[in-house]
Structure 1
Amino acid sequence: MTDSTVPASPTLRSIPASLRVTALQTWYFPAALSVFLVAVAQFNFLVFHTLAELFAIIVCFILFALAWYTHRFSRDHFLLYLACGMFWIGALDLAHTLSYKGMGLLPVNEANTATQIWLVTRYLQALLLLTAPLMASRNTDKMMLFLVFGLIAALTMLWVASGHFPDAFVESQGLTALKIWSEYVIMAILAGALTLIWKRRAAVAADALPFLLVAIVFAIGTELAFTLYIDVYGFSNLVGHILKLFSFWAIFQAVAVASLIRPYQALDASNRAKDDFLASMSHDLRTPLNSILGFSDMMRSQMFGPLGHAKYEDYIGNIHASGTHLLGLVNDILDLSKLESGQYELNRQDLNPRALAEEVVRSFAPAIAAKDMDVNVACDAEVRQLSADERAMVQLLNNLVSNAVKFTPDNGKISIAWSKRSDGAAILQVSDTGPGIPASQLKRLGKPYVQIDPYVAQKGGTGLGLFIARRIAELHGAKLRINSKPGVGTTVTVIFPPQV
């Protein structure tokens, strides 16, 4: 175990009011469950006890899973320590439930064994809560922590099973003095845990803290109720289990808020901030780039006379090409942000597939002419129209044709073809005679920011084109597939669902 500094836990004011400890909605479920269990107890106390304990056991296992699997993100050592211990508390409570008088599942038919297991379990739970604040600043290996708690639980069970543990309940007499005084000692330990957690609250997630304090208060009430019964099926036993239910629910809420709700809300807030930033930067980035492109184009065309030196024409061409490239990157990143945040809305209308393809091809005319490529656009007569968003479809086609033009060598061939399947699905295929892609790399193709080999990387770009095309296709309910063979070329197929 090594000491590490634990940052003060942030208070996230955006936690919904319905999830705070003072909100009535927070307690609706345990209250409703308690009413149901009390009703069950009127008919069969053993069923009541089993269901009440199973609730606490399930909560222990769930909160362990939450804290265990989210620790790499939350880095909350306090909750991890608590959850590792609570897993074994749940295991011991399961042993208590199975050995309860009348269950008949274990070779035990008296109340003493279950009461003994209950007593050692509550001692361990109280000590766990007391030591958790002390361990919050220690970055402990979680597997070692889990195994240490497991060893402690196993040793206590062996102590009870060996018959050397003092009696806690005597039939017809009720609780022994050891059991009653132990409950008071447990309450004192819990009170100490309450005080220590409050003093070291900076190490506890701010939203989890109130739930933990309330959980301990309920636990103290639970132990008090368990000092009063004579019959294990008695009223104070019932009250104690109801209070335990509320205590475990509060612990569950603490872990759920700290491990799930708060991190996800922080992520959501971060995403919103990113979207707002990109939206505000969209204008700030595009405006100067458009000015650069506009003025450099005017200078390149020598609208107001010659520049005076041939080298200037080369420089202006480089400026214009670089500005065009940068504007394309900015547009890709902004489009990706909209797609990822769910803000990319479609405005469907009836489009002419051939006209769309020809329009996109015309925009690449200079690059096509420079490489002396043969580009063919074909459209079956059955594909007369397509219900889609025009802007999105232009972008999809633009990204696919751009890749084809970029990677097809001089004198190569590109084909854009629309066809219709027998089931009415419209098929778009963009094929090229470029270098092709090895089968081992195809799975990586189409992932954001992925450039699959040095040849692709040196062509420039962010690796977003195919990813954006795929997401646009998915928004239309279409599927995008890539087939490629090194030395032959690549075909990207987009299959649109049948349309009425």
Structure 2
Amino acid sequence: MLPTSINPALRHPVGRKEAVFMGLAVMAVLATRSHSYLLFHTLVEFFNICVVLTAFSLAWNTRHHLEDGFLRIAGLALGPSAAILLLHTLTYKGLGVFDPDDANLPTQLWVVQRLMQAGALFAATLPMVTRSRNNIPLVVSATAALVMGGLVFLGLFPDCFVDGQGLTPFKIAAESTCMVVVAWAAWRMWQDRSPRPPQVRRLAIALLLCGSVESATFTLYNDVYGALNMAGHVLGLTQSFLLYTAIAWVGLTRPLESLFARQSKLRSQFERDAARAQHDMARFAEILAHHMQEPVRQQHVFTQALIKALPQPVPPEVAQPLEFVINGAMRQRSLLRDALTYLSLSEPIPASAKCAAGDVLAAVLKDLSERVDQSGAQISYGSLPKLAVPADRLKALFRALLDNSLTYARPDLPPRIDIRAENQGSMARVSVSDNGVGIAPELRHKAFGIFERLNHDGNGTGIGLAIAHRVVDSAGGDIWIDDTALGGTTITFTLPLA
């Protein structure tokens, strides 16, 4: 089952844990600079690549329901730039992976990545682009990566860094262009009045400003191992982290929050409907208890009065129909009584409920004493434990089972009923055995259904065993039917011990 509420910390894109994690990660990476700038650069770029690829993966997998066009387009379009960023990392001066091992090749690849990033972020603020649901931004970005990356390795891309001189005019112009384009994108985001959460708007503006300042730092450095170069890489990592955070919040956390809110609303509605249905059921039970039983009582009383008013002896042709009326009234009263008991069992069991099963059984036998004496029944029982069920429910259970044994006794033998109990872990197993007519194995699966009368001799209401099943089931136990050594039926049930 899904939870009905979401962690309040997840209602904001950048929570305290995320900020602390990001801060510790940056500090750990910065600490490596004192040992080796090359190590710092490699770690920060690999971290950046992982964040960008994660953001791309989130954007790709949530693209069909990611409503924020800026995040969808930016996340998809920046995916191919991770490949260029990986090449830039591997070609960085000092790693010796590519030949020649100089600063120009990684700087060229960096400029390619920056141009792709600036173009993607600016395009993500254009309404005509954000309204599209196709994969064209991803295709355009991948094509740009292949074309410009190919120009770099073919030697056709302009130089960006010259040893001994520093940045070339092209590099400075390219970074300045990226700075202006990304700053323009930030202004467009500020002016945009699309129905976007304010948290997401702030994140988008923050990541765009990080990108613009990052480009500014990369127009000023002369040393690829210098402080400005380092600051620019940290800003780039921050920008990628903010993009990832925004996509994760909009694409995953907010939909889950909406789902949980809807689930909570549906659960509340269900609980209200259940309470209303329970109230209606209680009202219906009240009608059964009072309004419907009164006419039956009057039918029984006035029929007996009619018999007494008639000249005695009453002719058989009159006495027999009147006896049928009386028996029908008595049966209807029993039926209404059992139906009322069955309906009353819909209430949940209190957690503090408990009773002594032996005392409850003794009370039931006292209520049935007249019927037991008339039938000549022999009822034996041993020590019974305390059970975690209300006394009135256990009383209804014992009454239903004993009434069933007395009703379906064999005509040639006096009823014999044996009640035994044993503890099995946290449950008590209680069996009620009799020597009655029994229940055929092929019919036992129907015995606990309401109004299921397996014997059509006119006795019973068809609700007794349904009451027994409902009591046991509501308490978390099981009930079933077995054969018995007495020749009739054994009904066994389990209930939790108190």
Secondary structure at the residue paired with 1:229?
Answer: coil
Superposition RMSD in Å = 5.0
* 1-structure distance, mates of 2:447, 2:100: 76
Q: How far, CA to CA, are the matches of 1:363 and 1:136 in structure 2?
A: 75
1:318-329 alignment, distance < 5 Å: none
SS in 2 for 1:208: helix
Question: What is the aligned partner in structure 2 of residue 191 from structure 1?
Answer: 183
What one-letter code is carried by the residue in structure 2 that aligns with 1:386? Answer: M
C-alpha distance 148-20 of structure 1, shift in aligned 2 (>3 A): closer
- State how 1:90-239 maps to structure 2 within 5 Å: 90-133=82-125, 134-135=127-128, 137-142=130-135, 145-202=137-194, 204-239=196-231
SS in 2 for 1:87: coil
Counterpart residue number, 1:405: 448
Q: Which residue of 2 aligns with 1:394?
A: none
**Structure 2 SS opposite 1:302:** helix
* Counterparts of residues 10-409 of structure 1 (less than 5 Å): 16=9, 19=12, 27-133=19-125, 134-135=127-128, 137-142=130-135, 145-202=137-194, 204-302=196-294, 305=298, 381=422, 383=424, 385-386=426-427, 405-406=448-449
CA distance in 2, matches of 1:404, 1:125: 73
Deviation at 1:216, TM superposition (A): 0.9
Corresponding letter in the other structure for 1:405: F
Deviation at 1:253, TM superposition (A): 2.0
Residues 299-338 of structure 1: CA deviation (Å, up to 9, x unaligned): 4433563599x9xx99xx99x989x89996xx8xxx9xxx
Please identify the structure whose Cα radius of gyration is greater.
2
- Report the equivalent of 2:376: none
> What letter is aligned with 1:115?
T
Change (3 A) 1:385 1:55: closer
Counterpart amino acid of residue 131 in structure 1: A
| Distance in 2 (alpha carbons) for counterparts of 1:345 and 1:162 | 80
After superposition, the Cα gap between the structure-2 partners of 1:18 and 1:205, relative to the gap in structure 1 and judged at 3 Å, is closer
The question of whether the paired residues in 2 share the 8 Å contact of 1:96 and 1:118 is answered with yes
Deviation of the 1:152 alpha carbon: 2.9
Query: What letter is aligned with 1:163?
Result: G
**Distance between the aligned counterparts of 1:367 and 1:105, measured in 2?**
91
| Conservation of the 8 A alpha-carbon contact between 1:286 and 1:327 | no
Q: TM-score, normalised on structure 2?
A: 0.61
**Could you tell me the percent identity over the aligned residues?**
23
Letter in 2 for 1:141: N
SS of aligned partner of 2:198: coil
For 2:423 and 2:194, the matched residues in 1 are separated by 69
Partner of 2:359: none
State the shift of 1:19 in Å. Answer: 3.8
Q: CA deviation at 1:52?
A: 0.8
Q: Does the C-alpha gap of structure 1 residues 432 and 381 become closer, same or farther in structure 2, counting only changes over 3 Å? A: closer
Task: Name the SS for the 1:211 alignment partner.
Answer: helix
How many Å separate the matches in 1 of 2:153 and 2:167?
Answer: 19
Check the 8 A contact 2:55/2:244 in 1, yes or no: yes
SS in 2 for 1:163: coil
In the TM superposition, residue 76 of structure 1 has moved relative to its aligned partner by: 4.0
Amino acid across the alignment from 2:252? L
Q: Counterparts of 1:360 and 1:67 in 2: how far apart (Å)?
A: 60
Deviation at 1:146, TM superposition (A): 3.7
Instruction: Name the CA distance, whole Å, in 1 between partners of 2:426 and 2:16.
Output: 55
Equivalent pair of 1:168/1:179 in contact (CA under 8 Å)? yes
1:44/1:164 Cα in 2 relative to 1: closer, same or farther (>3 Å)?
Answer: same
Residue-by-residue CA offset, 1:57-76 (whole Å, 9 max, x unaligned) = 11111122223333444444
Whole-angstrom distance in 1 between the partners of 2:344 and 2:132 = 45
Instruction: Give SS of 1:301's match.
Output: helix
Aligned AA for 1:129?
A: L
TM-score by length of 1: 0.61
- What secondary structure is seen at the aligned counterpart in 1 of 2:294? coil
Q: 1:20 to 1:306 in 2, by over 3 A?
A: same
Q: After superposition, give the CA deviation of every residue in 1:17-66 in whole Å (9 maximum; x if it has no partner).
A: 99466x77653333333332222112100110011111211111112222
Q: After superposition, give the CA deviation of every residue in 1:115-145 in whole Å (9 maximum; x if it has no partner).
A: 1111111111111111113256524235x65
Separation of aligned partners in 1, 2:129 and 2:118 = 16
Report SS of the residue matched to 1:202: coil
Q: Which amino acid aligns with 1:93?
A: L
Measured in 1, the distance between the counterparts of 2:96 and 2:26 equals: 25
